[in-house]
Amino acid sequence: MSAPEVSIVVPVLNEAHRVVPMVERFADDPRVELIVADGGSSDGTPDLAARAGARVVAAARGRGAQQNAGARCARAEILLFLHVDTQLPPGALDVVVRSTRAAGVVGGGFRFALDPTSGGLRLVVGLTNLRTRISRAPYGDQALFVKTEVFRKMGGFRELAIMEDLDFVRRMKKHGRIVVLPMKATTSSRRWMANGVLRTSLVNRLAVLMWAAGVSDRRIRRTYDRLLRRGDVETTRLTVDDLG
C-alpha cells in the first residue's frame, strides 16, 4: 500500500452524532489517512468512527494529547489537524500539498468561517480573518497543517490544559514560513450559540490576556470553565480563533 499524502488527525470526545459524517467525507480518498484520536468517549464514538472507515487511536483526554497520539501513528508527510465540527472546502487537500512544497513553508491553515453566521458572528469572522492576515498565524478551527518532519522536530503539541494551539503555532513559526490559504474552513458556531457572542468573546479575550501575562494553563482552564458552560462541545479549549 502506498503512503497517503495527508494524515488527517481528528480529536474527539463523545461525538457519536458528528463523527460518521466527518469520516465519510474522506473515506474514498486514497490520498488521505484519517486518524480519529478518541479521548475516552462513552457514547460509542470510537466504534462508529472505525466502522465508517477511520483509524482510531485511544489517547489521554485533551486536544494536545489526542493530536499527539494521532500524529505518532501517521504515515503521511503532511499532518492536518481537523476539528470534528469543521469542514474543509472542495479541493482543499490539493492546495495543502502544493503549498507545503513552496520554499521555506512548514505549514499553515485556512481562512476562518462559521456556520451559521448572523449578527455578531459576522464580526467574529471578520476580526478573526483580519488577525490571521496580519499575524500569519492560523489556529485550530482553521484546520492547522504542518509537515510531519517539522512536527516531530518540535516535539508535537505541548499537552496543556488550554491554549495548546496558540503555543504550537508560535513555536512552529521558528521553523519556517506559515501560509494562510485563501480558501475557508467552516466551523459550527455552536460555541458562540451556547454562551452568547459577546460573553464568549469577552471570556476568550480574558483567557488570552491571562496567557500573555504568564498565568498557568491550568488556572486559565479553571477560569474559562467557570465563566462558560461547555454545552455539547467536545474537549472544549480556547485558541485565538475564538477572539472575535
Q: Encode pLDDT of 100-145 as tens digits.
A: 999 999 999 999 999 987 778 999 899 888 988 998 888 888 999 9
Q: How confident is the model at residue 237 (pLDDT cuts 50, 70, 90)?
A: very low
The candidate with the shortest Cα–Cα distance to 83, out of 161, 5, 139, 156, is 139
CA atoms of 68 and 161, how far apart (whole Å): 14
Q: Assign 95 a pLDDT band (cuts: 50, 70, 90).
A: very high
Query: 152 falls in which pLDDT band (50, 70, 90)?
Result: very high
Nearest alpha-carbon partner for 21 in 44, 54, 68, 43: 54
Domain 6-242 fold is: Spore Coat Polysaccharide Biosynthesis Protein SpsA; Chain A (3.90.550)
Q: What is the mean pLDDT of residues 53-61?
A: 96
The mean of the pLDDT values for the chain is 90
Query: What pLDDT shows up at residue 201?
Result: 85
Mean pLDDT of 182-198: 89
DSSP for residue 213 = T
Three-state DSSP state, 200: helix
For residues 242 and 141, give the distance between their C-alpha atoms in angstroms, rounded to a whole number.
9
**pLDDT in the model for residue 131:** 86
Confidence of residue 243 (pLDDT cuts 50, 70, 90): very low
d(CA 25, CA 238): 26
What residue segments make up the domains of the chain, in order of their start?
6-242
Percent of the chain topping pLDDT 70: 93
8-28 average pLDDT score: 95
Condensed to tens digits (0 to 9), the pLDDT of residues 191-236 reads 888 888 889 888 988 998 999 899 999 999 999 999 986 544 333 3
Instruction: Give the three cell numbers for residue 118.
Output: 448572523
Q: SS3 of 33, please?
A: strand
pLDDT of residue 232: 41
**Helix H segments across 37-119?**
45-52, 63-72, 92-100
Exposure letters 48-58 (e unless 16+ CB within 10 A, then b): bbeebebbbbe
Using the predicted structure, report yes or no on whether residue 18 has a pLDDT greater than 90.
Answer: yes
